[in-house]
Each structure stands twice: as C-alpha cells, then as structure tokens.
Structure 1
Amino acid sequence: MKHLAFFLVLILCFACRAEDLENKDNNRNDGDGPAESWDDDAQEANPRDIWTELSLLIHRVTVAEKLVWSLQEENSAQAIELAVAHEKLCALREGLAVNEGHVEELQVEQEEQKAAVEELQTSDRARKVAFSASLLTHGEGNSDSGQLVFRRVVTNVGNHYNPTTGAFTAPVRGVYYFRITGHVVHSDSFTRLGIFKNGQLLVTSGDRHGSSDLEDSASNGVAAQLEAGDVVSVRLGGVVWDDQYHRTTFTGFLLFSS
C-alpha cells in the first residue's frame, strides 16, 4: 500500500508538471512574456514525453499490483496447504503412536502365547508317560534279593524310568498302572516280587520251585495314585531268572493326570 501511495503521488506530480508546461507553451504561442523565456522553456521536457513516461509508470504500477495480488493469493494457498500438511503430519504422528502401542501389545501377547504354547507342550510331554524294561541286557541267570534294576529298556516315553537305579519317578500327579512279571527256573529257592511306592509296599507276586513244576512265572499289577516326584521301584525276595527271552519285566504308564 505504501508503494501504491508513492506511485499515486508521483503520478500527481507529473500531472501538475505537465499542466504547467502546457500553460507555458500556450503563453508562448500567444506572444506573452519575454522572448528570452522561450529558450529557457525549450530546455524543459516535452509534455508528450512526460505523458508517455507517466503511462509507462501507470502500466508498471498496474503490473506490480497484479503481481502483488498474485503473490498474495499464492501465499494464501501455500498457507492453506501448509496448514493441511501440518494437520496430516499430526494425524500421522498420532497414528504412529497408536500403531507403536499396538505393536507393543502384540509383542506382549505373542510372548504370552509363546509361553502358553511352551507350557502346553511341556504339559503334553509330561502326560505322555510309559516305560517297559526287562532285567538283563544280555546273557542269562538268577538275580539275588534286593532292589531290582531292569537294565534292558524297551520303552521309556518321557525318560522317567531310570535304568541305572531301577526306579520310576512320577512327573505329574495322576493315576498310574504298574505291572511286574518274574520267572523261576534252575533254582530250589523261591521268588517274591514287590512293587513299592516311596518305600511302601503296594502289591506282591511270588512262586516257589517244586518237584513237579520246574519253571514258572509270577505276575501282578496295580493302579496307584501318585504325586509328582513319587518313586516306584521293584524289590526281590529270593531269586528271579532272566535270559535272552526277557522273562522278568517291569512296566508302567500314566492312565490319566489328576
């Protein structure tokens, strides 16, 4: 606006100057005034040149005004675009924060699901329990009294039977089934097999050699409620025979957890 006012004042000055020169030119034509003033006025600018320059200035002012208005409109449009972009940026930041929160929640949920799967797998493995073993890994012969160690493992799902000690350790609380079978031969003695839980007798099976019964087998089984960590083993009184046919065995498995 200051530039526009300046140009308007300049235009007014040029207009006044042009009018004065035109009046002087008229006076010369009428013969008024001293003769020497003609030479002085001749040195003054031609009114037509002034009007031409004035027209050029007006044109330049008009072009400048149009340019100013165009720049103002562009600035307004850019301001609106900048405001819209700022709003979008804020929305993107909020969305990013929400997504990051969701990612953290999903990570926590994934870890929980992973832990649950591992727990289920562990629980499933613990519920798959079964073993069966015979007394000797090779050869034949009678075993003496004491805790029997069934060294030839046929099946040991879960590895809860220990072929070094002859003991089974319950992995979970539940009802288990155990069975023992002993063979008597080549001996004048007897055999008595017992299944023990934590040192307490559960069941017994036995037989005695007779003159009319040179060899025989004895067997018994029991379903027992065990707690996790309970130990089941077999003890022998007398002697028991085993050979390559694996006649003397110890078997157990989980019926169901409880």
Structure 2
Amino acid sequence: MTVIQQLCGDRMKIIMFFPLLLLVCSVSATETETAVQQPCPQDIHAVLRELTASLAVQNERITVLQKENQEQAAKLESQKIETDKLMQQLQVKQVAFSASLLDQGSRETGPFNTEITLVFKRVVTNIGNAYNPHTGIFTAPVRGVYHFVWSLYGDGNIAAGGVLFRNGEHIFIAYEHQTSGGVSTSNGASLLLEVGDQVSVRLFVGARLNDSQNHHNTFSGHLIFPM
C-alpha cells in the first residue's frame, strides 16, 4: 500500500467517524431522560476542529506526495526516452554496404552530356539498409564519419570517370583516359555526414563505363564511427 493510499484511507476513517460521534452523543442524550441532562463526554466542537485540522494536514501531505509522484513519473519517462535513443544509436552503429553496377549480363553505360547518378544494382552487403539499389543513393542514418570507395572501368577509347557527391556537392573524382586497351580508376573519401545526408557516384560528363559478370564497377562505404 502506498503512502497516498494509506492517507486517503485515514481520511475516510475520519469522515466516517463524524456521524458515529453524533450518533453516540444522540444515544447518550436519549437514554438519560432524567431531570439532569448528561453532557457529551467531550466538547464536540473541539473534536470537530481537531479532526478538520488533521484532515487539512493530510490533504497537504497527499498533495505533496502526488506532486512528487508526478515529478518521478516525468523523470522516468525522460530516462526511457534517453534509453531508447541510446539503443537506436547502438543499432545504427553497424552500417556498411558494397554494390556493383550490373546485377547480370554485360553493358556499356554512357557517354552522356550531363552527369547522371550511377545505380549500382548488385548489392552484396547492405548492413543497416542505408544504401538504396533502386536510386544508387546512400543516406546516412546517424551522424558520423563514413568512408567511401568507388572503382570504375572503361574500354580505353573513352575516358572512365565518376564523381563522388555529398548531397549536391562535388567531393572527389576518379578519372582515367587512354587511347587503347582497358582502363580503370578508383578513389576514396572519408566524410562527416549528418543524419539524412546523401552520397552517390555520378558518371562524369563524356565518360563511359563497361561492366560484365566480372563486376568491374563498384561502390562501397561504411560507418567508421558515430559522432
């Protein structure tokens, strides 16, 4: 039984005592129908004053305890929210993906007269599901430092190149050009990302990529540490 429940019980006992006291005094007066009326053993007004004061004190104590309970409940709710946030951060600490350009077959991509986002469709790792194989975009689930690597391959007659973008910002380019034979290029970057920041690789203007079942063109990234 809580303190508030006990105090409330005491108050009910006091309230129930009022009619009982009046009944006792009434019975006493009825039974002594003699020439001399016997007074009630105690001054009923003094008793009522005492009981009223006691009720006021208990009401005050109940109010204080209710306030303390409300504050404690609010504190527990705040602690629960912080715990949930911590658990969420612990879960999203594991973020890593790796994908190649084609999921099957062979194909050339490009050249184009504008930069296009490369969609790496064959996903071999996507822990945390932060990479979208339908758009080619990685979206940061937690604030932290991430590392990205992209490798590209072309046939040598046209340049092979791709630019790493954070949101709309050009970060680094991987670019190679030679007149004959196959050509490959790669680069990497570590980026501080906020929650919701997007990272992708865009095909450089005029560049062309060749891919096959050997999966020459890849895009990978992982969370180094949250911040």
TM-score of the pair, normalised by structure 2: 0.60
Alignment deviations for residues 104-144 of structure 1 (CA, whole Å, 9 cap, x no partner): 11222123223323443454455543322222233333333
Secondary structure at 1:253's aligned position in 2? strand
- Percent identity, aligned pairs only, is 34
* Cα distance in 2, alignment partners of residues 209 and 252 from structure 1: 31
Unaligned stretches of 5+ residues in structure 2: 1-33
Instruction: Determine if contact 2:152/2:209 at 8 Å carries over to the other structure.
Output: no
Unaligned stretches of 5+ residues in structure 1: 1-63
* Cα distance in 2, alignment partners of residues 154 and 77 from structure 1: 91
In structure 1, the residue matched to 2:200 is 233
In structure 2, the residue matched to 1:131 is 97
Q: 1:177 deviation in Å?
A: 0.7
Higher RCO by CA contacts (8 Å cutoff, separation 6 or greater): 2
Bigger shift: residues 245-254 or 113-122: 113-122
In structure 2, the residue matched to 1:177 is 147
* Cα distance in 2, alignment partners of residues 229 and 115 from structure 1: 21
- Of 218, 222, 227 in structure 2, the residue corresponding to residue 253 of structure 1 is 222
- Of 113, 125, 130 in structure 2, the residue corresponding to residue 155 of structure 1 is 125
In structure 2, the residue matched to 1:55 is none
* Cα distance in 2, alignment partners of residues 149 and 125 from structure 1: 27
More helix by percentage: 1
Kindly indicate whether residue 59 of structure 2 is the aligned counterpart of residue 93 of structure 1: yes
Instruction: Determine if contact 1:130/1:155 at 8 Å carries over to the other structure.
Output: yes
Q: What letter is aligned with 2:187?
A: N
* Cα distance in 2, alignment partners of residues 151 and 161 from structure 1: 10
Kindly indicate whether residue 160 of structure 2 is the aligned counterpart of residue 191 of structure 1: yes
Instruction: Determine if contact 1:183/1:242 at 8 Å carries over to the other structure.
Output: no
